[in-house]
Amino acid sequence: MNILPHKSYHVYNLKNKEREREHRLTILRQRAKQRQAVTGENKDELPEETSNQNTDPIQNHINFWADLEKESLAVVSTNPEYEAEKRAKEKKWEKQFTMYLGDVVKEQRPWYTRVESEFEKQYKEEQINGSKDEGSVSIYDPLLIMKSKLDKKSKKKSKDVTREKRDRSYNRGKESNSESSSPSSIEKLRSERLAREKKERLRVQKLLNPGMAIDSEPAGRYHSQFNPNATKAAHELSEQSSSDRYNNRYRSRRYKPY
């Protein structure tokens, strides 16, 4: 059986516990009043008995240790160790026969009973004060100020280095472009263009006259390394002569009606 702790009829609820405690206290007060009433009547009767006892000393024996016996009885009745042991035994005996409906109620306490420990308070205060102190120290710490300035300088230097590298690469590209526009590169491009034109011309001639054998380039020709102008003129002359030969052959093969 599991009764919810927030229900009003829960046996171990805080309000029900207080109500039961008040009820027990009222019962104990009533019993104490009854005892006082009974003992009051006995007290009224006791002096007569004592007076009678004093009148007849022969009836009672003489006790020389009456005071010591009274003290020992008082010590036994008010011994704190004995009372603590007795309460512990009673609690142990009650635990064997009592069954709790839920332990959740024990953990539920009102907010005003939750006392924060001194250690936790001190720890929180140290954390708050430490964070404040760190902020103030970081503002006025000369080492941190110097470090921030050095970081700024290093960032500036790295930016300058990257800018210099970019400028160098740009200048190298300009130099390569200027070198490519030099006379030697122009001559090279011209020779490549002439070779392409020659190949295209031969291809066209083969397509137009598939049966005609086109003379290939003569074998022993001079290289332009030693005398470029003379070799260039010789190349042009040979190209002109080959084109003339082709034209003469084409004319001779044309149809002549007369």
Who has greater pLDDT, 181 or 156?
156
Residue 234 is assigned to a structural domain of this protein: no
Residue 168 to residue 182: CA distance in whole angstroms: 21
Residues 24 and 94 in one domain: yes
Residue 37 is assigned to a structural domain of this protein: yes
Structural domain span for residue 48: 1-55+79-110
Average pLDDT over the chain, rounded to an integer = 72
Residue 188 to residue 152: CA distance in whole angstroms: 52
Residues 106 and 140 in one domain: no
Residue 207 is assigned to a structural domain of this protein: no
What the block records as the tokens of 247 is: 């034209």
Residues 27 and 121 in one domain: no
pLDDT digits (tens, 9 = 90+) for 236-258: 777 776 666 666 665 555 555 54
Residues 2 and 102 in one domain: yes
pLDDT digits (tens, 9 = 90+) for 107-142: 566 666 666 666 677 777 777 776 655 555 566 677
Residues 101 and 123 in one domain: no
Residues 31 and 127 in one domain: no
Residues 135 and 93 in one domain: no
Residues 94 and 46 in one domain: yes
Q: What is the mean pLDDT of residues 59-88?
A: 73
Overall number of domains in the chain: 2
Residue 84 to residue 87: CA distance in whole angstroms: 5
Residue 204 to residue 177: CA distance in whole angstroms: 36
Write down the pLDDT at residue 197.
Answer: 93
Can you list the alpha helix ranges (DSSP code H) found in the chain? Answer: 14-55, 66-77, 80-97, 104-107, 118-140, 142-180, 183-208, 228-252
Residues 91 and 161 in one domain: no
Question: Worst-scoring range by mean pLDDT, 66-70, 192-196, 226-230, 253-257?
Answer: 253-257
Residues 102 and 156 in one domain: no
Residue 195 to residue 215: CA distance in whole angstroms: 16
Residue 154 is assigned to a structural domain of this protein: yes
Q: pTM score, two decimals?
A: 0.20
Q: Label residues 27-41 b or e (16+ Cβ within 10 Å = b).
A: eeeeeeeeeeeeeee
Helix (H, G, I), strand (E, B) or coil at 17: helix
Residues 163 and 86 in one domain: no
